[in-house]
Structure 1
């Protein structure tokens, strides 16, 4: 090997060592050893060497923490060792019961003191890291405990995860388990940036972390600056240099280059465990990350092996959880919201209280049954918490603080918007306003009709709809198509050009296909997917009306359509006001029928069979309908809402709440290029 070749190699190796040492000191030890400007200069030098000669790139090079094109999706991998969850205890009585069971399994006398390790239960996302000969080769999510998703490229961006262990003679393999998290300060900065860009905010750091880990572009992950605490070590059984206790394992992990939470403690007995738990009940509020309890582990690893596992969890460890943060407040009033389908939702309005970092003054009470269950009275003192640290809810009432002669609160008998008598069907929890002319129902119906998934009328937002309804200019969906430019110009913030564009958009919406028109009608239980199935089976409103009112068995014969939908269709098409609406739409130029041309059946393989997609935002070159057509032609299904059953969310510019929900549920997010890659896979 020539000197000109060996010099760059030696320099690259030297730079990697210096940069990795500096990163470990900064991100893991919180003790910087190098100025940022010096680090940046050395990093650029290494990057230039690697660009000039890619053979110099090593797996532990800091330049490789972020690299490569976004992935088209994640593959499922089986964990070498099951990643089980922990059993929970919610008070010291349950903790003592667990300890008693542990002593019994280990055949120890009641009251025997066994050393344990207490660790904070970080409210993040569990990861399994696999190393071979000291090098990170795979990172995976927990998944179901047996299988997870392989997210190595994303985890490589976490600066506190070593790419190569700081061990001279590492074992052939080892597994490290730990928690990925977003510190509170970083989370606040992320949300501030999202707010400045007009994007939906993340609900909490844990959800933001989960969504970030399943981003398909590692550069997005890197920008969010995740952190990682290691807490469990698995080594080959024949490797004799491993630790003998959990406490030693934490020290071993530190020596190997991992960041270990500094607040762990070696506890001699159960009394010390309880003191540790009580100490951190207050102390956790001073941390810059969320923790919802402590984890207690038997210290001796051989005793852990003897104790073994249940089907779901280790017997030698338990999570002792703190109760959800609760606060009392004075009930000010009970208000009611009227939804698009007429459902009345009671809402408790109370004096503001701080909970989980935000001020809370309202909480939904769901329905009349919940009111009865709470036995809510005017002026009650209520206890409020955030369910899952996110959604405000009323937990209970404190009747001992109830004012004298306080009146029990119930749902009103008449609609708060229109005064019509409210109806509650037998067997249903919901109470409804059934007046189709109710302003609240009308506003909701109009918003639904013009939405992206229905008629997609650009320029007709909620504020404008409110003006049209409040001024009595629109009393039904059909009235939208009787608006003219002069009338629209009389509305607030509506110029002549905007009015002209809106009239044109309404006219264009008449060409939307029958299944979109059916969905836009807002029939109870008929969502976007069901509307498409019904429109295919019944190619016109007349056909569907006949089947709904005369042969309901034909409705339920459609795949995916059940009796509940058939009954809802029967009720809708039997209502005189709805019949009048359909006739009015036809007079205004709607065909309310499918086009004659049939779409050809796709030939060849269907790469997206069994996959469910949600589209959000504006894609660079595809319209929403074009993207949907491509997905469906490839065997996939497109739905309007994000759920745990969603396979992918396809997001473009100005993606809204669907993107945030996908990230919170950990659902992979695709851009247009990712989608195209899946289509040809």
Structure 2
């Protein structure tokens, strides 16, 4: 054959194999015998080897075979990938529905099974798959495109005649039970650690740096949403996704009232156990996409959808002992050491008893037979003692009066018992682990075992000591070596560039989580500013209560913590923010803005920063709760929606004039 005939044959083979893959992996309806598929596949490989310039991203040969990656890049989601709020009872579901009805009236719902896997965001440009991200924290995800391309039910090219310039598809990657069993059988034969459950196996697989490993594990994918769907409703969106070539879970229903939603939930409570993959609940979505946009989002989840979680599995086992964990704030948490038991797909050997009062309430003792379940299907907890099975020699458990690690007398604060010794080795270990965690300074290579060695040998007495470690010292520790030590030092150096909110969270102050750290950093742009603030100054911030303010003030009053801040600054850690993190006023507090179109002098990002620095909030969708829409040229549908709802529309100049007026008069009134 000549070159022209070769190209014609290559295109023909590519079309045949893409169609065959779609029918096999998406429709479960094989079109070609495996032997014929393999023959065509090898023929296509040979042609592409002969003519490398003809290889295209949508070829089936491009799913497997890339070289291992060195690391995954972190990428910002074009549209935030929010998680869902959960409800655990029909009463909670009813309350959610009433809130929806109050805001937008009676609605239809689409019920979909909640697949127990890993959420992904896939980007298609002109119909071709160009990027695949994990959820991450909802704003930043890991680019695992190479691994996603190995999933056969993810189309490399959309099967629609005129694909849009940009299309983003959300869905769930998962591992079916049969494949999970096969993977674990192979790992057992090779003496490797087994995966606890299919979800963990899926997450671990997608983070493999070698895509050939991912390909060998046969992941699957269900598409379920389009952030900018061309359809009008969720049920039409599912149909559109199917027409594009995606596998869509067939077990969904359009429900016109609460009774139909409840019937769907109750049916799948037992029927789900017959499915070949895991599902732990039902996702209920408002069907009308315009109403979804009107309902919008809260801080971390959509208001137009909710996940009904099925009751967690429970199991009976024996308490072999009760031990005490000491956390980074000194809190003593009792833990039941259990006879290992399989629970919700995971082997459980430990369960929290929460606090001293919970032990008293349960009257749990070593030797007791207990019912264990997973709270939110994550944290195992003891929920009931089977006292009729209690051994006759059983004695009540006595909560310790001294710290089990440093033997300092404990103190009682409300329901918690604490070790007040800041130098307690276990408090220090937990503090270092928190400082190094991904949500804080994200210091790679400093894990639990190394932290224990650093503290137990007396090399690290505070967080600041981490920044005095040397290559020779680190290399001498068990399982380190020169390369690992170099990586740790490089990560420590990089942590010095982390912004002030990350550092503030990493300090481990009671009640200061990630969100609170960001809120505080906007008002107090440095550690010094926060240290000098009074309890009244701190509690005056919207969202900060007296208890939180007192905890922060007490932490900064401690001379040990003052020395820590000075030492961290001396080592180059960022204990102050940039000007952009400072809240200049509260003039726009409580007001919600949407920015649309092209503004004359500012980008949307600059306009958003201006609004936020004066206490306002900028969101992406127009609803009845939007106070102002700032519109430029080519404002489009958001401007139309604002006019329909009667939302005040401002130009850039009018926004600046409004802000100037409020700066001179005081903040805007609270919204009605």
Give the C-alpha shift of residue 430 in structure 1.
10
Deviations 1:158-189 (A, max 9, x none): 00000001111111111100001111111111
Q: 1:378–1:406: 8 Å Cα contact kept in structure 2?
A: no
Secondary structure of the residue that 1:99 maps to in structure 2?
helix
1:13 to 7, 11, 14: 11
- Indicate yes or no: 2:281 matched with 1:293: yes
Secondary structure of the residue that 1:410 maps to in structure 2?
coil
Q: Tell me how far apart the structure 2 counterparts of residues 244 and 412 of structure 1 sit (CA, whole Å).
A: 59
Partner of 1:327: 315
Partner of 1:158: 151
Secondary structure of the residue that 1:314 maps to in structure 2?
coil
2:396 to 379, 399, 409: 409
Partner of 1:143: 136
Q: CA distance change for structure 1 residues 117 and 328 in 2, over 3 Å: closer, same or farther?
A: same
Q: How does 1:194-273 map to 2 (within 5 A)?
A: 194-235=187-228, 242-273=230-261
Secondary structure of the residue that 1:293 maps to in structure 2?
strand
Q: CA distance change for structure 1 residues 115 and 426 in 2, over 3 Å: closer, same or farther?
A: same
1:274 to 262, 277, 284: 262
- TM-score normalised by structure 1 residue count: 0.59
Q: CA distance change for structure 1 residues 280 and 406 in 2, over 3 Å: closer, same or farther?
A: farther
Partner of 1:527: 452
Per mean C-alpha deviation after superposition, the further-off stretch among 314-323 and 368-377 is 368-377
1:426 to 409, 422, 432: 409
Give the C-alpha shift of residue 382 in structure 1.
2.5
Secondary structure of the residue that 2:152 maps to in structure 1?
coil
1:559 to 452, 457, 465: 465
Q: 2:471–2:486: 8 Å Cα contact kept in structure 1?
A: no
Give the C-alpha shift of residue 527 in structure 1.
2.7
Partner of 1:169: 162
- Indicate yes or no: 2:627 matched with 1:627: no
1:38 to 31, 36, 44: 36
Deviations 1:205-224 (A, max 9, x none): 11221121121111111111
Give the C-alpha shift of residue 409 in structure 1.
3.3
Secondary structure of the residue that 1:559 maps to in structure 2?
helix
Q: Tell me how far apart the structure 2 counterparts of residues 160 and 154 of structure 1 sit (CA, whole Å).
A: 13
Q: CA distance change for structure 1 residues 284 and 556 in 2, over 3 Å: closer, same or farther?
A: closer
Deviations 1:191-239 (A, max 9, x none): 1111111111112111221121121111111111111100001347xxx
Q: Tell me how far apart the structure 2 counterparts of residues 281 and 120 of structure 1 sit (CA, whole Å).
A: 10
Larger Rg: 1
Q: CA distance change for structure 1 residues 77 and 616 in 2, over 3 Å: closer, same or farther?
A: farther
Q: Tell me how far apart the structure 2 counterparts of residues 380 and 525 of structure 1 sit (CA, whole Å).
A: 35
Q: 2:196–2:346: 8 Å Cα contact kept in structure 1?
A: no
Larger RCO, structure (CA 8 Å, separation 6 or more): 1
Structure 2, unaligned runs of 5 or more: 326-331, 412-416, 420-445, 495-501, 503-672
Deviations 1:587-637 (A, max 9, x none): xxxxxxx9xxx9799xxxxxxxxxx99x998xxxxxx51323443575658
Aligned residues between the structures: 456
Q: Tell me how far apart the structure 2 counterparts of residues 530 and 348 of structure 1 sit (CA, whole Å).
A: 25
Deviations 1:120-148 (A, max 9, x none): 01111110000011110111111221221
Partner of 1:453: none
Deviations 1:335-368 (A, max 9, x none): 47899xxx99875656x87633578787676997
Q: How does 1:656-667 map to 2 (within 5 A)?
A: none
Q: 1:363–1:392: 8 Å Cα contact kept in structure 2?
A: yes
Give the C-alpha shift of residue 405 in structure 1.
8.2
1:120 to 102, 113, 120: 113
Structure 1, unaligned runs of 5 or more: 237-241, 414-420, 432-518, 536-554, 563-593, 602-611, 618-623, 639-644, 646-681
Q: CA distance change for structure 1 residues 211 and 635 in 2, over 3 Å: closer, same or farther?
A: closer
Q: Tell me how far apart the structure 2 counterparts of residues 525 and 10 of structure 1 sit (CA, whole Å).
A: 60
Deviations 1:547-567 (A, max 9, x none): xxxxxxxx66963599xxxxx
1:193 to 186, 191, 194: 186
Q: CA distance change for structure 1 residues 30 and 85 in 2, over 3 Å: closer, same or farther?
A: same
Q: 1:348–1:362: 8 Å Cα contact kept in structure 2?
A: yes
- TM-score normalised by structure 2 residue count: 0.60
Secondary structure of the residue that 2:83 maps to in structure 1?
coil
Partner of 2:55: 57
Q: Tell me how far apart the structure 1 counterparts of residues 19 and 6 of structure 2 sit (CA, whole Å).
A: 20
Q: CA distance change for structure 1 residues 534 and 348 in 2, over 3 Å: closer, same or farther?
A: closer
Deviations 1:409-459 (A, max 9, x none): 32699xxxxxxx99964228799xxxxxxxxxxxxxxxxxxxxxxxxxxxx
Per mean C-alpha deviation after superposition, the further-off stretch among 4-13 and 28-37 is 4-13
